[in-house]
Amino acid sequence: MKLLWLATLMAVTAPGIASAAIVNVDASNGFNYVPGGGSDPAPVAGDQISFVGTPPTLSLAAGTYTITNATGEAGADPNLTAWSYNVGTSSWAWRFVLATASGTVINFYDAGSGSSKAYVAGLASVQDFSTTFTLAAPTTVAFTLQDYYVPDNAGGVSLDVQPFATSTPGVPEPAAWTLMIGGFGLTGGAMRRRRAMAGQLA
C-alpha cells in the first residue's frame, strides 16, 4: 500500500522538463546562402543555407525550447564566449543561426558585437541572452555561426538548450494525472478487498 502511494506521489511531483543540453558551436562552422555565396545580410526564418563545416545538431521532439548563454555551465567550452569572423580586424560577435539539418533557417540570433572577445562576452545582452523557438514536429536542428569563410575565425558560442516550461509548477502533466487516477483506483480496490476479507473473518 505504501509503495502504491509513493508511486502516485512521484507521478504527481515528477518534473515535466527534460535535462538541458549544452551545445558548443566553434568557429569552424558557418554557412553559405543557396544559391550564391556569402552570409550577409543576416538570414531570416525560411531562408535556405548550406553549411560550412559540420555543425553540432540536436534531435528534438515537437514543442517549445529555450536557448540561453551557457558560459560557465558544466559542459560549456570556456573558450567559446564570443567569436571573431576576422581575427585580423578584431571583429567579435555573439550570434548564431538555428536551422534544420537540411539547411532551412529557423531563426538568427544576435546578442551583440564589438572590438574584443572580452568586451562582447561582458555585454549584458550576451550574458543574459534568452530566446525561445517552437518546433511543430520532431526535428533535427543544427547550430552554426554567421560566416562563410571560416579559416580566419576564432572562438565560438556555448548554448544551453532545454524544453520550455509551459505548465504551472505543481500542476501535474496529463500523463501524471492518468497515473495518479490509476493509483487511486488501485488503492480503493485494495481497501475494498481488505474490508470484504475483514467481514468474512468476523
CATH number reported for the structural domain that contains residue 65 in this entry: 2.60.120
84-139 tens-digit pLDDT: 988 878 899 999 999 999 999 999 999 999 999 999 999 999 999 999 999 999 99
Q: How far is 88 from 77, CA to CA, in rounded Å?
A: 23
- Whether residue 166 is predicted with pLDDT greater than 90 in this model: the reply is no
Name the least confident of 24-33, 168-177, 190-199: 168-177
46-57 tens-digit pLDDT: 999 999 999 999
**Same structural domain for residues 157 and 193?**
no
CB 83 within 8 A of CB 154: yes
**Same structural domain for residues 137 and 155?**
yes
* Amino acid at the residue 28: S
Q: Note down the domain range covering 192.
A: 2-9+169-201
Q: How far is 94 from 79, CA to CA, in rounded Å?
A: 13
CB 94 within 8 A of CB 115: no
**What is the phi/psi pair of residue 178, to 5°?**
-60, -45
Given its phi and psi angles, is residue 189 left (phi above 0), alpha (psi -120 to 50 degrees) or beta? alpha
pTM: 0.73
* Size (the chain), residues: 202
141-165 tens-digit pLDDT: 999 999 999 999 999 999 999 999 7
**Same structural domain for residues 62 and 115?**
yes
**Same structural domain for residues 173 and 158?**
no
**Same structural domain for residues 149 and 179?**
no
